[in-house]
Amino acid sequence: MQDKIYDVSPEWSRRALLDDAGYRAKYEASVKDPDAFWAEEAKRIHWFKQPTRIKNTNFGPGTVAIRWFEDGTTNVAYNCVDRHLDTRGDQVAIIWEGDDPSESKSITYRELHDEVCRMANVMRNRGVERGDRVTIYMPMIPEAAYAMLACARLGAVHSVVFGGFSPDSLAGRIEDAQSKFVITADEGLRGGRKVPLKVNVDAALDRIGSKLVDHVLVVRRTGAAVNMEPGRDVYYDEAAAMVSGDCPVEEMNAEDPLFILYTSGSTGKPKGVMHTTGGYLVYTSLTHQYVFDYHDGDVYWCTADVGWVTGHSYLLYGPLANGATTLMFEGVPTYPSISRFWEVIDKHNVSIFYTAPTAIRSLMQAGEDPVKKTSRRSLRILGSVGEPINPEAWEWYYRVVGDGRCPIVDTWWQTETGGILITPLPGATKLKPGSATRPFFGVKPQVVDADGKVLEGKAEGNLVIADSWPGQMRTVYGDHERFVQTYFSTYPGKYFTGDGCRRDEDGYYWITGRVDDVLNVSGHRMGTAEVESALVAHPKVSEAAVVGYPHDIKGQGIYAYVTLMAGEEPSEELRKELVAWVRREIGPIASPDLIQFAPGLPKTRSGKIMRRILRKIAEDEAGNLGDTSTLADPTVVDDLVTNRQNKR
């Protein structure tokens, strides 16, 4: 079947930063001589000391070491704030739209400077120094941005933990990062509901014990009365009133850490993905400009939470490095009405809108009317990120939301990659619904088979990246060996993405999803092992195996097979109890959609669970189980198939 193709419109060819020939030339230059290309692109940020060594990277086998611009010095907060004061001090840096539509405010670059300096001074007065790790557990309020930038200003390393994670998950991340300083809010507000952030922090710190964290900074969001531990906890507004709005910036080496962000893998606990300073900033700034065809005067809105990498790279750092006006939204797409996204676009004249397929799929269900009753005339570009976008959702996004006028940039990347690696460029790339299309400058994707053989031309296999780009993660915090093992051992000498992909006759890439034990639920990454270990921690559970299954809105749903302890009986009540248990252990995003009680799990004679079979059953493909002859007890499969849970 011929793929549908959308040509670049004449209007877009006129206004875009690059046309197709421009893309090809720049791409060729970038892969032919990375040193020359990135030396030139590095000039887009301000360096205290210009780098002279550009690329020094090694993907192994053996040593894996990634360094970019290694003798340069700079500061990310200086680039995102101070540098703009002369030219755009009065321009709005952040538009904040509250959960309640009556609440919004604009923060200029000058105001941002004052706020970031105050936050930095408050931290500095409490002993935060360069290299220290600071945990940020915040709702989507401007103070979250101030906190991240304040860390960058001081050279402290932030670790933002998504506000939807449980006290347990938060505690694990605080401990792994050994962070002594925590920034939070009294409560968060989402869709009219309150999120007990400070209560969760208290519970997390109880779990950790009193030794580690010595300061908790609490931003008042709802004004709820919360427990304040004398000597440890302080309200931000009170502390900020006592410090100056000026604070010196630390001169950081390009390879000094900027942040740690925990993300799920196929095994073990979430990993602390570590990103550094210079390369990350050059890469996020360059991609933000070209992928979103950003011009001065645009109002740019990325709906991601700051707790995820998209919120780091494309809500905050990339846009602010470019002096953009970036919109931060506290709420959810469906509150107070299902038109909320489109109303916000009209209210603030948003020209670039970047969201996740799961949001599109859920809004699609309500039909066109809630969209069509808004204008959306300010929109020029639509973006998609986080999971494969099915062609049906793509078409709806294009036709209904964008009125057929706005190119969609389907951007493929990962927490580990720091920025976008495969994407269309508006004005340069013909679009195919469902394809992330072509590599960004400097990115060398390859499709390999299971043995690592590089496949040429039209092909399907696993996606690897053959060489480094500046925004790449540098290590797993505190565990470089795990970094090497996870990303560079499957295909030695190459970065393994964990994704499967197809490349078509035009050289376009189609990401088919994870090929490891990582689930993508509503664009949120979740390790099957994490959900399994939460389940087996329940006293009535003896064994659990978790797989994904296709879900109309979430992309993937969580399907859990649970074997109970001897003497325990399956019941609806227990099913509910287990769902609530996992929510409590990890957070609501990890709630199993379906739980099947199973007397036994399919195992090989050596005791290894055969997930392939469990996946097929969950996907309702029991007719296609393949070879089950290596199972220790093939009869368990019959019971599993008979008692399969229905999708809803």
The nearest distance, CB 572 to ligand PRX, in angstroms, is 33
238 phi, psi to nearest 5 deg: -70, -40
Identity of the residue, 370 or 523, whose beta carbon is nearer to ligand PRX in the bound complex: 523
The nearest distance, CB 311 to ligand PRX, in angstroms, is 10
The nearest distance, CB 284 to ligand PRX, in angstroms, is 12
DSSP for 363-422 reads HHTT-SHHHHTS--TT--EEEEESSPPPHHHHHHIIIIISTTTS-EEEEB--GGGSS--B
Check binding of 310 to ligand PRX (CB under 6 A): yes
Check binding of 292 to ligand PRX (CB under 6 A): no
Binding residues for ATP: 386-388, 410-415, 499, 514, 525
Binding residues for Mg(2+): 536, 538, 541
Binding residues for CoA: 190-193, 310, 522, 583
Check binding of 616 to ligand PRX (CB under 6 A): no
Q: Which of 30, 287, 414, 437 binds ligand PRX (CB under 6 A)?
A: 414
Q: Which of 160, 315, 321, 436 binds ligand PRX (CB under 6 A)?
A: 436
Choices 340-348, 379-387, 464-472, 615-623 (CB under 6 A): range interacting with ligand PRX: 379-387
Choices 41-49, 244-252, 509-517, 623-631 (CB under 6 A): range interacting with ligand PRX: 509-517
Q: Under DSSP, is residue 301 helix (H, G, I), strand (E, B) or coil?
A: strand
| Nearest residue to the partner ligand PRX, using Cβ | 415
The nearest distance, CB 498 to ligand PRX, in angstroms, is 6
Q: Is the bond into 445 cis (omega within 30 degrees of 0)?
A: no
Beta carbons of 72 and 308 less than 8 angstroms apart: no
Nearest residue to 236 via CA among 306, 186, 190: 186
Beta carbons of 355 and 303 less than 8 angstroms apart: yes
Check binding of 411 to ligand PRX (CB under 6 A): yes
DSSP state of 99: S
CB-based burial label for 231 (10 Å; 0-12, 13-18, 19+): exposed
Beta carbons of 324 and 83 less than 8 angstroms apart: no
DSSP for 424-485 reads --TTT--B-TT--BSBPTT--EEEE-TT-PEEPSSEEEEEEE-S--TTS--EETT-HHHHHH
The nearest distance, CB 544 to ligand PRX, in angstroms, is 23
Q: Which of 317, 412, 487, 581 binds ligand PRX (CB under 6 A)?
A: 412
Choices 195-203, 384-392, 572-580, 605-613 (CB under 6 A): range interacting with ligand PRX: 384-392
- CA count, 13 A, side-chain hemisphere, 70: 10
Check binding of 498 to ligand PRX (CB under 6 A): yes
Identity of the residue, 465 or 545, whose beta carbon is nearer to ligand PRX in the bound complex: 465
The nearest distance, CB 462 to ligand PRX, in angstroms, is 11
Check binding of 388 to ligand PRX (CB under 6 A): yes
Beta carbons of 437 and 250 less than 8 angstroms apart: no
260 phi, psi to nearest 5 deg: -120, 140
* Residues at the contact surface with ligand PRX, assessed by CB under 6 A: 263, 309-310, 384-388, 410-415, 436, 497-499, 511, 513-514, 520, 525
